[in-house]
Amino acid sequence: MSKKILTALCLTGLLLHAEETRPKNIILFIGDGMGIAQVTAGKIAKGTLEMERCPVAGLASTWSADHLTTDSAAAATALATGTKTDNGMLSLNPEGQRLKTVLEIAEDQKKSTGLVCNCAVTHATPAGFATHVPSRQQYVEIARQLADSDVDVLFGGGLAYFSPSNAPSCLPQLQNKMPLATTAEEFYALGTPEKAAALLYPEHPPHVAERTVSLKELTQKAIEILVQDEDGFFLMVEGSQIDWAGHKNDAANIISEVIDFDDAVGVGLDFAEKNGRTLVIITADHETGGFAVIDGTLAEKTVSQTGFIHKKHTASMVPVFAEGPASSRFSGIMDNTDIGKTMIELIQTSE
């Protein structure tokens, strides 16, 4: 083989390698309150989890700037911006200065962006990616900032916060930019516009058995819309209610919410495997309940005995799974801010 051909081959290899390590799209799945025991319980009940398709696994510490045990607002800020803040704050640093989020940086790169959750879209985790407020309780202000943002896909609940009784409605502003579905029928009739919002409940959606549109269906539709952008996309999908079941020390609901979340993860991984240029990251914002699995049967897929430490969050590390270009960056032990920093670096260098 001539030296020239060898050099050409090496260069092609380098180029291929460079491309492989730079995702065009990122899908971040956050299981709120999903610690290792929650994943374990889901696996026992489901048999095999979609998450297990990820070749890369790691652990992330979740402490916030002012507490060893984080809340969802500080954790969302860490994941979205790569910077720690105080509990309760959304994408502002502890001094109140605005922090740019991975979603906003993706928009700067002309990528499309989406937020999908099974809580009100004004709740801490989705809000942390596109709004900046000192208190996560400022739902009406969060709705106003979301309506004002460049988010292209906004799926969840929380319609009431967009047209509150005590403040001007920001729904017209949202609807000027994109079609809005407020019922399951309207959601299924959305088609694939360039942007879309679905605020399917006045506040939070009910628990899994009563939800009219599944997280899996929301995720599928979000990907169908976002993939139309040839510049790529960033999508955050939250399984919001694993945490709420943890707060109630309700093992059965933890399991059904983890399985529901995992079904949505499967849609993301199916897309990533076909697409080849999509990084999928699955993690949690914190663990809830100090949950443990004590007994059950693999053959019958049952979890018969569980335990909880208390009804709040814990400081335990959370699992991280990844698949796709640059997924190896998410192996080993990291901090939640490392996940944010790495996503931002990858989005900034993405073509």
Shortest approach of Zn ion to residue 72 CB, angstroms?
Answer: 6
Tell me the site size for Zn ion, rule CB under 5 A. 1
Q: Identity (one letter) of the amino acid at 27? A: I
Q: Which one-letter DSSP state was computed for residue 291?
A: -
User: How far is residue 107's CA from residue 76's CA, in Å, rounded to a whole number?
Assistant: 18
Signed CA dihedral, 253, 259, 264, 265: sign only: positive
123 is annotated as contributing to ligand binding = yes
Per the CB < 8 A criterion, the answer to whether 330 and 58 are in contact is yes
Closest approach of Zn ion to the CB of residue 274, in Å: 34
Tell which positions 234-263 bind Zn ion, by CB under 5 A.
243
Smaller CB separation from Zn ion, 81 or 87: 87
Structure tokens given for 80:
């979205």
What is the closest distance, in whole angstroms, from the C-beta atom of residue 121 to Zn ion in the complex?
17
On whether 247 is known to bind a ligand per the annotation, the reply is yes
From the list 64, 72, 240, 327, the catalytic residue is: 72
Burial of 224 (0-12, 13-18, 19+ CB in 10 A): middle
Is 66 among the annotated ligand-binding positions?
no
Our CB check for Zn ion shows the closer of 243 and 257 to be 243
Q: Which residue is nearest to Zn ion (CB)?
A: 243
Least separation in angstroms between residue 184's CB and Zn ion is 27
Residue 323 binding Zn ion, by CB under 5 A: no
Instruction: Pick the closer one to Zn ion by CB: 278 or 314.
Output: 314
338 annotated ligand binder? no
Whichever of 136 and 195 has its CB closer to Zn ion, that residue is 136
Place of tokens 């984080």: 70
Closest to Zn ion by CB, 29 vs 330, is 29
Q: Are strands 25-31 and 318-323 parallel, antiparallel or unpaired?
A: unpaired
Alpha helices (H) along the chain: 3-20, 36-46, 72-81, 102-108, 124-127, 139-148, 159-162, 171-177, 184-188, 215-226, 242-247, 251-275, 336-348
Shortest Å, Cβ 61 to Zn ion? 17
- Whether 256 sits among the annotated catalytic residues: the reply is no
Q: How far apart are the first and last CA of the chain?
A: 33
Picking from 300, 297, 255, the residue whose alpha carbon sits closest to that of residue 41 is 255
Instruction: Judge whether 286 is annotated as a binding position.
Output: yes
Near Zn ion in 282-301, by CB under 5 A: none
Report the candidate in 160, 162, 159, 258 with the shortest Cα–Cα distance to residue 207. 258
The answer to whether the annotation marks 313 as part of a ligand binding site is no
SS3 349: coil
270 is in an annotated binding site: no
Contact (Cβ atoms closer than 8 angstroms) between residue 200 and residue 206:
no
32 is in an annotated binding site: yes
Residue found under tokens 């059965």 = 252
SS3 281: strand
Nearer to Zn ion by C-beta: 124 or 198?
Answer: 124
Give the shortest CB-294-to-Zn ion separation in angstroms. Answer: 23
Binding region for Zn ion (CB under 5 A) = 243
The set of catalytic residues is 72
